[in-house]
A and B are shown apart, each in its own frame.
Chain A
Amino acid sequence: NAGVTQTPKFQVLKTGQSMTLQCAQDMNHEYMSWYRQDPGMGLRLIHYSVGAGITDQGEVPNGYNVSRSTTEDFPLRLLSAAPSQTSVYFCASSYSGTGIYGYTFGSGTRLTVV
């Protein structure tokens, strides 16, 4: 089991460029979510999904789009990157009653926007 796989691990973008951060899980988890981690801010929820075709906004959704066409994949799109989006991005998956194992996190994507 690979768990939650995020690609790429590192990325440098120019302001205004677009890109997609990939997230895939092979645990058949129903739920997936995206977070950004900034120094001194902890992790903040961007978007989450409770199943294929269903997404909702978290605490900091502006500038990001998501879709979920399959249970396994939950990509995060930056349509026009801004320096304020420089951060470390984490994807997580979970399932109903996720008590014993918690939310499973990927290893993160470190994004720099110049």
Chain B
Amino acid sequence: SQELEQSPQSLIVQEGKNLTINCTSSKTLYGLYWYKQKYGEGLIFLMMLQKGGEEKSHEKITAKLDEKKQQSSLHITASQPSHAGIYLCGADGTGGGADGLTFGKGTHLIIQP
């Protein structure tokens, strides 16, 4: 079965600073999804990566999938209080959406003013 390891487990960053969260898979990634979750709430889809070397951006958040397709990174530029929450990476076996997601344990992000 596929396992996803996220690092760091938690992160405290001063407002305005940049940060990176990593997600490493035990197997080749065919579909890698990034979600954000505010405490006590549901999951908000950020972006999905499929191709090795692919990079996507949404506002100040950029995600990349490495060429070997076993690691993804999420980079936030000029962090804001609205970025605080839990960031989760998830993968499905085929990238086709059918067989559910395996998730990492999440990265708790705190933004200090």
Contacts and interface: CB of A to CB of B under 8 A. Distances in A.
Task: Point out which of A33, A97, A103 has the most chain B C-beta atoms below 10 A from its C-beta.
Answer: A103
Given A96-B96, A102-B35, A103-B33, A45 B101 contact: yes
A103 B88 CA distance: 13
Given A42-B88, A45-B102, A90 B97 contact: no
Interface string A91-108: 010111111111111111
Contact of B105 (A30, A42, A97, A102): A42
B87 to A, nearest CB: 11
Contacts of B41: 107-108
Interface of B: 1, 31, 33, 35, 41-43, 45, 47-48, 50, 88, 90, 95-106
Nearest to B102: A45
B102 A102 contact: no
Contact of A95 (B48, B50, B97): B97
A94 B97 contact: yes
Interface of A: 30-31, 33, 35, 40-45, 48, 50, 56, 58-59, 90, 92, 94-108
Given A102-B33, A103-B45, A96 B98 contact: yes
A3 to B, nearest CB: 10
B92 to A, nearest CB: 8
Contacts of A95: 97
A42 B108 CA distance: 11
A97 B45 contact: no
Contacts of B99: 48, 50, 56
A82 to B, nearest CB: 23
B8 to A, nearest CB: 14
